[in-house]
Amino acid sequence: MNTVRLGRIAARAAARLAGSSMAVLAGVAVVASLGLQSASAQQAWPNKPLRFMIGFGPGGGTDMVSRLLAQKLAERIGQPVVAELKSGATGTIAADIVAKAAPDGHTLILLTGAHPVTGAMMRRLPYDPVRDFQMVSTIVTYPITLVVRVDSPFRNIDELIAAARSARHKVSFSTAGVGSGQHLVGEWIGAIAGVEFLHVPFRGQPAAMVEMISGRIDMMIDTLTSAYPHIKGGKTRALAVTTRERSPFLPDVPALSSVVAGVDFASWAGVATTGGTPRPIVDRLNAELRAVLQLPDVLQQLATLAGTPSASTPEAMQQLIVSEIGRWNKVVDDRGLERQ
C-alpha cells in the first residue's frame, strides 16, 4: 500500500472521528441547554401575579378552599395570587380559561370531582379534560352524603332503600343539576342497589337543599362540604356517607356500603394548571401546596368543611381523573343517561 493511499485512509478515519466527536458534543450541548432551560423556568417562576380561577358560585366549598389556597400560596411565593370567580356550566368556563392559558404555571384552578363527570357527561368540551391540564396535587377529599329533612319518615338508609324497591313509592332525590357529580352518584347507587330513584335537578345546591327541607323532595345527595353546616345546624339528617368507612366528622352516620355493598367513593378537590407547564414549576407548586396543607389554620378551615387534607403527586391526581372518567362513562352508558 503506497504512502498516498495510507494518507487518504488516515484522513477519512480522522474525519469520521471528528464527526463522531462533534455529534457527541452536540448531544451534550442539547442536554445542557434543556437543563438550563428547566433551571431557568424554575428560577423565573413566579415572575408576575398568579390567577386562581374559581369555577363554582360564591360561598360554596370550592370558593372557600380556592380563596384560602390563594391567600396562603401568595404568602409563600411572594407574588399576589388573585382569585377570579368564573362560575357556570359545571365549572367548565373556568376550566377552559386555564386550558387555554400560557403554560407557565401562572394560571391555576381548583378542579373538583365534577371535572371527570363533565368529561363523561358532556358530548363536547372546549378542552380535553386530561391532556390540556397539568395536574399538581389533590388538596382535600370528602364523602358524598345522603341527607333527609329532620322529620323525614326514613329513619335510616335501610328504610329508604326498601321504599325505593317498593312499587308503592318513587323515592325522589334532589341535586345541583343534571349531569352533576351528585346526580351520577345517585344513578350509580341506584344501579348497585337495583333500584330506581327519581332525580329532581335544580340550578345549584341552595335551591335543591331548600326543596328537600321543605318536604317536596325525599332526600338530597350532596357533598359533605356543602351538607355539613345543615346537618350540624339540625336542619337535615344524614342517613349515610359514600366512603367505605364512616366519616370522622359524622361518626354516628353509617357507611352506605353497610347496606349497598360495593359503594366506596370519596369526592375531592385538587389544584391544576395549564398542560405543558415545565416540570420544575409543577414540582415547586406541589411542594408549596404540601407546605400550605400543614398550616394549622388551613387544617382548621378544611375541618369546618368536613374535608380531609389529601396531598398527592401530579401523576396520582391525573390517574384519579382518568379512572373517574371511566367510572362515570360506564354509569352514563349503563343507565341510558342522555349526554349533554
pLDDT number for residue 216? 93
Q: What pLDDT digit, counting tens, does each position of 151-179 carry?
A: 999 999 999 999 998 866 689 999 988 88
Which of 217, 237, 258 represents a domain boundary (last residue)? 258
> What pLDDT does residue 16 have?
55
pTM of the model as a whole: 0.82
Task: Give the HSE-up count for residue 303: Cα atoms under 13 Å, Cβ half-sphere.
Answer: 8
Whether residues 131 and 274 fall in one domain = yes
Cis peptide before 296 (omega within 30 of 0): no
What is the sign, positive or negative, of the torsion defined by CA atoms of 46, 300, 317, 321?
negative
Share of the chain above pLDDT 70, in %: 86
Q: Please report whether residue 107 resides in a domain.
A: yes
Tell me, yes or no, whether 137 and 274 share the same domain.
Answer: yes
Which set of grid coordinates corresponds to residue 311?
A: 396531598
pLDDT at 278 over 90: yes
Instruction: Show contacts of 70-79: CB within 8 Å, 24+ apart.
Output: 72/292, 72/295, 72/298, 73/288, 73/289, 73/292, 74/50, 76/288, 76/291, 76/292, 77/46, 77/50, 77/288, 78/46, 79/46, 79/47, 79/48, 79/49, 79/50
Domain membership flag for residue 2: no
Q: Specify the DSSP class assigned to residue 55.
A: -
- For residues 191 and 331, the answer to whether their CB atoms sit within 8 Å is yes
**Listed residue (137, 165, 142, 119) closest to 69, CA to CA:** 137
pLDDT band at residue 89 under the 50/70/90 scheme = confident
- Quote the DSSP letter at residue 338: P
Q: What is the pLDDT of residue 206?
A: 84
Our CA angle for 332, 65, 202, nearest 5°, is 40
Domain end residue (candidates: 222, 240, 258): 258
> For residue 31, which amino acid is it?
V
Residue 28 has pLDDT above 50, yes or no: no
Has residue 6 got a pLDDT over 50?
no
Q: Which domain holds residue 288?
A: 50-141+268-335
99 and 181 belong to one structural domain: no
**What's the confidence (pLDDT) of residue 27?**
46
Residue 215: is its pLDDT beyond 50? yes
Do residues 221 and 254 both lie within one domain?
yes
Q: Which CATH number belongs to the domain containing residue 56 in this structure?
A: 3.40.190.150
Mean pLDDT of 181-194: 92
Please tell me the predicted confidence (pLDDT) of residue 167.
67
DSSP 8-state class, residue 256: G
DSSP lists the bridge partners of residue 325 as none
121-124: long-range contacts, CB 8 A cutoff, minimum separation 24: 121/179, 121/184, 121/328, 121/332, 121/337, 121/339, 121/340, 122/92, 122/179, 122/339, 122/340, 123/339, 123/340
Task: Give the three-state DSSP class for 172.
Answer: strand
For the chain, what's the residue count?
340
Q: Cβ distance 173 to 202 under 8 Å?
A: no
pLDDT digits (tens, 9 = 90+) for 233-267: 999 999 999 998 899 999 999 999 988 888 889 99
Q: Decide if 34 is inside a domain.
A: no
94 touches 106 (CB < 8 A) = no
